[in-house]
Amino acid sequence: MHKTDHPRTPRSGRTPRSGRTVRRGLALLAVAALGALPWAGPAAAHGSIVDPASRNYGCWLRWGSDHLNPDMAQEDPMCWQAWQDNPNAMWNWNGLYRDNVGGNHQAAVPDGQLCSGGRTEGGRYRSLDTPGEWQTTDVGANFSVHLYDQASHGADYFRVYVTEQGYDPATEPLTWGDLELVEETGSYAPAQDITFDVSAPGRSGHHVVFTIWQASHMDQAYYLCSDVNFV
């Protein structure tokens, strides 16, 4: 139900003309089968924090239509290294989750691997753990967090952490000890867009917002790093 890879349906190669009817029938069956599955292409299943943009969502948003542009190396070097490491981290911006964690997030996600969900999916998102000058979204002490989830999983809860003043995202790997829990929400009914308010006073400059989204349709936890600039 939660495939994030995108296997191509093998095309039947050279089918003789006499096989056309059979082929059409198979194609219809294939369409019917696909229609019965809750699977869709990239950016059509699961979700992420889109504001303030998570690291890979932001890299997908800014460069997804132009990801081979060498200017990215200078203009947005952390996205550049992410695209160089594995473009699937961006194509699957909505797939950064772990199943069956049982709420033991700190056990499942070690220090230094928070932004990759403990190198989930075979390490697909490991580039997101790299400290550096990630592009930021300006926020004040009070700001809104927006989940976009085309799959409408709903939420058992969100936990939002923000790094303590003094932590330097440009040079330090992110650890649990760097974080202050600033919000734990209640549950949310299934919806494509969920927005809630958080408050993280006493900060300035570049910080990381680390959001855990515990989805409701099954035990599925998302780990999402968003870079912000407190102004």
Which residues are near Cu ion by CB under 5 A? 2, 46, 151
d(CA 190, CA 85) in angstroms, rounded, equals 33
CA nearest to 159, candidates 106, 107, 123, 80: 106
What is the nearest approach in angstroms of Cu ion to the Cβ of residue 40? Answer: 11
Question: Is the distance from CB of 51 to CB of 45 less than 8 angstroms?
Answer: no
What is the nearest approach in angstroms of Cu ion to the Cβ of residue 212? Answer: 15
45 vs 208, which CB is nearer to Cu ion?
Answer: 45
What is the nearest approach in angstroms of Cu ion to the Cβ of residue 132? Answer: 29
Distances in whole angstroms, Cα of residue 106 to Cα of each of 103, 111, 112, 159: 9, 8, 11, 13
Query: By Cβ distance, which residue is nearest to Cu ion?
Result: 46
Helices (H), 65-169: 72-75, 77-85, 88-91, 105-108, 120-123
Query: What are the DSSP E strand ranges found in 142-219?
Result: 142-149, 155-163, 179-184, 193-199, 205-215
90 vs 221, which CB is nearer to Cu ion?
Answer: 221
Question: Is the distance from CB of 155 to CB of 185 less than 8 angstroms?
Answer: yes
42 vs 77, which CB is nearer to Cu ion?
Answer: 42
| Residue 179 DSSP SS3 | strand
What is the nearest approach in angstroms of Cu ion to the Cβ of residue 39? Answer: 10
What is the nearest approach in angstroms of Cu ion to the Cβ of residue 67? Answer: 24
What is the nearest approach in angstroms of Cu ion to the Cβ of residue 193? Answer: 15
Q: Which two tokens stand for residue 95?
A: 């797939």
82 vs 151, which CB is nearer to Cu ion?
Answer: 151
38 vs 140, which CB is nearer to Cu ion?
Answer: 38
151 vs 221, which CB is nearer to Cu ion?
Answer: 151
